[in-house]
Amino acid sequence: MNKKKSSLPDTQNQADVREIPINKVGVKSLKYPIALKDKENEIQHTIATISMTVDLPMHFKGTHMSRFVEILQNEKREIHIDSVYNILEEMQKKLHANTAHMEMEFIYFREKKAPVSKKPSLIDYKVKFHAIMDKDKKDFMMTVIVPVTTLCPCSKNLSDYGAHNQRGEVTVALRFTDMVWIEDVINIVERSASSELFTLLKREDEKFVTERAYENPVFVEDLVRNIVIGLKKMKNIIWYSVEAENFESIHNHNAYAMIESQEEFSNGHSKDFMIKRY
């Protein structure tokens, strides 16, 4: 049986004469359980959608797709974030690659209490991790997507009563030296908006949230600037990108603003920290 298996042709290892290397090749949309550090509850278990890719030299016809899954399965039944670079090194070794990428997108839950009634409920946030090994250089980017409420300052100033408001979505991407808690990023974003969102609101809560938003109007421009001020207080962040998109309630388009850090290495970090982005 083993003899027959070893005699099967390895088509992926065949030579390719087109002389075109491939930047990223691998598997996407693979669902797998992961464990995360949770600031409020120590550990949170969730399901991630995972992509695993490597570079492919020009002389190879293809990569071995099954090896990506094998490497992941070797981490037993659950991935811990601390093991990501072990996985990337294994990908480099078993797939003969210089560069290995691992991307994980998952839902992160927090319990929030309504502002007046204090009724608890869970609210979900989207989070993405992108880890890279380029030879022996490491890079890691965390992206947190936070829903918020924004109320238009222009509408408030123009109107005799009322002002248009809407849900918005803020996307914060970060590179950092020491650990950054997902919860801390969420808190900065929610404090920067007209109001945070809740899953459960009683009547007294709804009144409070509506009035708080009216008292704190922000454009998307205000929102991204407020967030950047908060991020700059976190000394371990070395690069950031902040995007805000309002799903406008009285326009047939969305409002958008973005700020990207221009001083990634002002705190003395080498440019080697941020390797080539694909």
Residues 118 and 92 grouped into a single domain: no
- What is the chain's pLDDT, residue by residue, as a tens digit (278 residues)? 455 556 776 666 666 667 788 999 999 999 999 999 999 999 999 999 999 999 988 777 767 899 999 999 876 667 888 889 999 999 999 999 999 999 999 999 999 999 999 999 999 999 999 999 999 999 999 999 999 999 999 999 999 999 999 999 999 999 999 999 999 999 999 999 999 999 999 999 999 999 999 999 999 999 999 999 999 999 999 999 999 999 999 999 999 999 999 855 444 444 444 433 32
- Residue 23 structural domain: 13-105
Which residue type, as a one-letter code, is found at position 119? K
Residues 233 and 131 grouped into a single domain: yes
Domain end residue (candidates: 105, 137, 158): 105
Residue 160 DSSP code: S
Q: Is residue 239 part of a domain?
A: yes
Residues 143 and 257 grouped into a single domain: yes
Domain end residue (candidates: 59, 84, 105): 105
Q: Is residue 84 part of a domain?
A: yes
Q: Is residue 165 part of a domain?
A: yes
3-class secondary structure, 77: coil
| Helix, strand, coil distribution of the chain in percent, nearest 5 | 30, 40, 30
Q: Is residue 5 part of a domain?
A: no
Number of domains in the chain: 2
Q: Is residue 3 part of a domain?
A: no
Residue 194's nearest CA partner among 147, 151, 161 is: 151
Domain harbouring 37, CATH code: 3.10.270.10
Q: What is the spatial distance between Cα 152 and Cα 221, in angstroms, rounded to a whole number?
A: 11
Residues 212 and 94 grouped into a single domain: no
Residues 254 and 120 grouped into a single domain: yes
Residues 208 and 85 grouped into a single domain: no
Residues 98 and 142 grouped into a single domain: no
Residues 134 and 227 grouped into a single domain: yes
The dihedrals phi and psi of 41, each to the nearest 5 degrees, come to -130, 20
Residues 153 and 30 grouped into a single domain: no
Q: Is residue 6 part of a domain?
A: no
Residues 98 and 133 grouped into a single domain: no
Residues 151 and 64 grouped into a single domain: no
Amino acid 59: pLDDT: 77
Amino acid 13: pLDDT: 65
215 and 230 Cβ atoms separated by less than 8 Å: no
Q: Is residue 48 part of a domain?
A: yes
Burial of 93 (0-12, 13-18, 19+ CB in 10 A): exposed
Q: Is residue 2 part of a domain?
A: no
Domain end residue (candidates: 71, 105, 139): 105
Residue 84's nearest CA partner among 44, 45, 130, 40 is: 130
Amino acid 222: pLDDT: 97
Residues 133 and 72 grouped into a single domain: no
